[in-house]
Amino acid sequence: MKSYLQHDEWSIVEEGFRPEYNRISESVFSIGNGRTGQRANFEEGYSGDSLQGSYIAGVYYPDKTRVGWWKIGYPEYFAKVLNAPNWIRIDVQVNGQPLDLAQCEVEDFRRELNMKAGYLKRRVTAQMPDGKRIRIESTRFLSISDDEVGAIRYAVHFLNFSGTLSLAPSIDGDVHNEDANYGEQFWEFVSHRAEGEEAYLTTRTKKTGFTVCHGMAFALEKDQKALQPEAIRRTDEPKRVGYSCQIPMEEDEQVVLFKYAGIVSSLNYPEERLQAAAQEAVQRACEQGFDLLLRSQAEAWADKWEEADIVIEGDVAAQQGIRFNIFQLYQTYTGEDERLNIGPKGFTGEKYGGSTYWDTEAYCLPFYLATADAHVARNLLLYRYKHLAKAIENAEKLGFTGGAALYPMVTMNGEESHNEWEITFEEIHRNGAIAYAIYDYIQYTGDEAYLADYGLEVLLGIARFWAQRVHFSERKGQYVMHGVTGPNEYENNVNNNWYTSYIARWCLQYARDSMQTVRALDEAKYQAVLDRVNFQAGELARWNEVIDGLYLPEDEQLGIFVQHDGFLEKEQLTVADLKPEDRPLNQNWSWDRILRSIFIKQADVLQGLYFFEDHFDEDTHRRNFDFYELRTVHESSLSPCVHSILAARLGRLDKAYEMYVRTARLDLDDVNEDTEDGCHITSMAGTWMAVVRGFGGMRVSREEGLQFAPILPTPWKGYTFTVRYRGVVVGVEVKREEVVLHNHDRKPLALKVYGAAREIPGNGRLTVPRS
């Protein structure tokens, strides 16, 4: 837990230089545009502690794995996002001495991530070892209106001396991943060219063969006038291309370098076109120039904020938190390319390999459903539909048959790329989340045609898996599910994890019901799907048997669902028993101790209560929440948002607020002490849910339509959010005394507020007293 960042409604601000927090700030101040992302590394060289990171969506490397390889079914590789060539690099020398903040006395330092307009700005005043004082001011962004373009304005001011300034903008391909098994380089060098004032470097990933071209151009300015430096030296090497300019400067003079980058990859261009495409991007950027590009950036972000913003009154920390979360989500995934997905760290670090996890379905989908056009959420669903064949292959590797599908825990292209048996083979509840996302999408959009066209096929594969994954226990006289890992990864390989079994049973029910739905919609399509998957006569009977006979552990004495067999035999401690120095457990306790302890990493039984809220009465909610909340350490970023929503539902306003702040400011305050590895992007969607579903009480269902039941956390004066619902933009203003609902469509909108049927007139508003 840290609090060195300033509270501000629209910006993240760091004042003063803290080398020890540099990696954290590099994560927090990351910029991205859905296609490319960049940690907040310094442009100039820096010899202090830093995690260099420049990432390109969809470009990964299958790193070899050697543990467990002798066990059948283990994946062959662990996919990882690559640190791509460095496009921000601008070396600075003063009279031949390199500028390196690690070697300077930093007098003044300010970083600002401007979320309203989408740029990163840094201002530094530093004294070099020989007493020369210099000021740097840099502004950079990755354009979201032209997602192949990045731009940097880099100003250098000589404060107390005159001399020669050398500025050397380049594209540097000599980069490494910290997360590399053997420190090897993942890039091959294809071509390099520096000509005129442009430079191009083309690199190719080993094994996967993704080719990427980075291009750059630059311009210099002094006193708002173009400057042609006297001496320019070209760098045109296999791993680095660029220029170095010598500029004589007087005391108190400033020079500005504009660097324009074009970044394109073979995901979008044939290889032979890459350099030309990069050149076109660079030229587009040069033609517009920095100021116009930045204005477009601000306008594009204004459009996003218009629909996605959440305003919180009376709580700057909370306001900043939610905007930071929304900002990072839209920096990471824009929904325009169905080959892409959302890695848990987005573009802010190497951890989790930039791959897709169940986070997407369980956390991110609701955010994009409610803040973007329906095609964005649909693209997320289609991503999995396209991987169905590989999910079936994956299940076959483990010994399942007949078209059973097990979606991978972690994937880039549909193949499993995580190699711990307790996760790969056992954390199978992910399959449930993928089915649930289809349900969620259809509830929200009403798009039942999706079920017939794509959804049912996925549901059948998943149901087949569950039907085989359980077995009948003669001792119990019930079906049981052994050897699973629930969402709580602080326990592995348990039997009868309530959440996994519950969602498994639900998947079987939903697949069965969906068969009826599709049949009623379109008999021909229904038959075609059944033929395609070769559906067998006896399958439904087996499903029904499992649905009726699946064991779900409950404890009568405590009145709770039991996380898994044996959970209540653990040493019964609560979080209150922990010493501060024990936390976070994963940085202080051995894995052995964590596994055997009662402490829960993230919502597990409670994840089920969250998904299937209306299956349980309020007392059941309360008993389970009270039991598990006391034992949960929230060391997964995915945990506090679920607790916040459940607490809100139970009217536990303080707990809901506490959990909200924790999720909203998880990275800003480095709550889990791991932001240095990157930000927790997918859980940011959970923060959004904590406001909209938690405090706002939004629910959507086919039967009941749109519903709100807003509550107001004590520290807040009010809050406002906007959701899209079936093409209509609905604004919700929650105030102390009333709730004002805005309908931005010309037709009236029927909905429920606090359980009562209401209507907002077309292009009108509805005011309801807060209850």
Query: What is the radius of gyration, based on Cα positions, of the chain?
Result: 27
Under the criterion CB under 8 A, does residue 584 sit at the interface with a copy of itself?
no
Give least dist CB 188 to a copy of itself, A: 17
Q: Does 67 bind a copy of itself (CB under 8 A)?
A: yes
State the number of CA atoms in the 13 A half-sphere of 747 facing the CB.
7
The reply to whether 159 sits near a copy of itself by the rule CB under 8 A is no
The site map against a copy of itself for 407-436 (x = CB under 8 A) is: ------------xxxx--xx----------
Rule CB under 8 A: choose which of 1, 9, 20, 71 binds a copy of itself.
Answer: 71
CB-nearer residue toward a copy of itself: 68 or 289: 68
Segment near a copy of itself (CB under 8 A), from 179-187, 604-612, 628-636, 748-756?
A: 179-187
Q: In degrees rounded to 5, what are phi and psi of residue 338?
A: -75, 0
Helix (H) or strand (E) holding 275: helix 274-308
Query: Does residue 74 belong to the site contacting a copy of itself (CB under 8 A)?
Result: yes
Contact 637, 683 (CB under 8 A): yes
**Quick check: is 489 catalytic?**
yes
Q: How far is the CB of 354 from a copy of itself (least distance, A)?
A: 17
Closest to a copy of itself by CB, 431 vs 492, is 492
Sign of the CA dihedral running 469, 591, 643, 377: negative
User: Do 563 and 458 contact (CB within 8 A), yes or no?
Assistant: no
- Which one of residues 177, 203, 586, 672 is an interface residue with a copy of itself (CB under 8 A)? 586
H or E segment at 92?
strand 90-94
Which DSSP symbol is given to 7?
A: P
Note whether 537 binds a copy of itself by CB under 8 A.
no
The binding track of 552-571 with respect to a copy of itself, each residue x by CB under 8 A or -, is: -------------xx-xxxx
Lookup: tokens for 581: 């120095």
Query: Is residue 595 at the binding interface for a copy of itself, with CB under 8 A as the rule?
Result: yes
Residue choice 2, 375, 593, 746 for contact with a copy of itself (CB under 8 A): 593
Residues 623-682 close enough to bind a copy of itself by CB under 8 A: none
Spatial separation of the C-alpha atoms in residues 771 and 768, rounded to whole Å: 9
Q: Residue written as tokens 């506490």?
A: 658
Question: If binding is defined by CB under 8 A, does position 401 make contact with a copy of itself?
Answer: no
- In the complex with a copy of itself, the residue whose CB is nearer, 479 or 611, is 479
**Of 197, 198, 489, 676, which residue is the catalytic one?**
489
Cα-based angle 613, 449, 457 (whole degrees, multiple of 5): 80
The smaller minimum CB distance to a copy of itself, of residues 121 and 430, is found at 430
Handedness of CA 91, 92, 96, 101 (dihedral sign): negative
| Contact range with a copy of itself by CB under 8 A, out of 240-248, 397-405, 533-541, 633-641 | 397-405
What distance in Å separates the CA atoms of residue 498 and residue 601, rounded to the nearest whole number?
Answer: 16
The answer to whether residue 592 forms part of the interface with a copy of itself (CB under 8 A) is yes
Q: Is the CB of residue 708 less than 8 Å from the CB of residue 739?
A: yes
Q: Does 268 bind a copy of itself (CB under 8 A)?
A: no
The runs of H, that is alpha helices, within 340-373 are 359, 365-371
Phi, psi of 305 (to 5 degrees): -65, -35
**Nearest Cα to 460, choosing from 385, 357, 398?**
385
The CA-based dihedral angle spanning residues 518, 521, 527, 533, taken in that order and rounded to the nearest 10 degrees: -30
Question: Smallest distance from the beta carbon of 499 to a copy of itself, in angstroms?
Answer: 18
Alpha-carbon gap, residue 80 to 180, rounded angstroms: 9
User: Does the footprint of a copy of itself cover residue 549 (CB under 8 A)?
Assistant: no
Backbone angles phi, psi at 185, to 5 degrees: -90, 135
* Pick 6 or 495: Cβ nearer a copy of itself: 495
CB of 549 to a copy of itself, least distance (A): 14
Which residue, among 639, 717, 628, 630, has the nearest Cα to 672 in the 3D structure? 639
Judged by CB under 8 A, does residue 588 bind a copy of itself? Answer: yes
Contact between 545 and a copy of itself by CB under 8 A: the answer reads no
Number of H helices, E strands in the chain: 21, 34
Is 162 a binding residue for a copy of itself by CB under 8 A? The answer is no
Among 401, 527, 587, 763, binds a copy of itself (CB under 8 A): 587
Catalytic residue numbers, as ranges: 489
Residues at the interface with a copy of itself (CB under 8 A): 64-68, 71-74, 181-182, 184, 397-399, 419-422, 425-426, 471-476, 480, 482-483, 492-493, 495, 565-566, 568-572, 586-593, 595-596
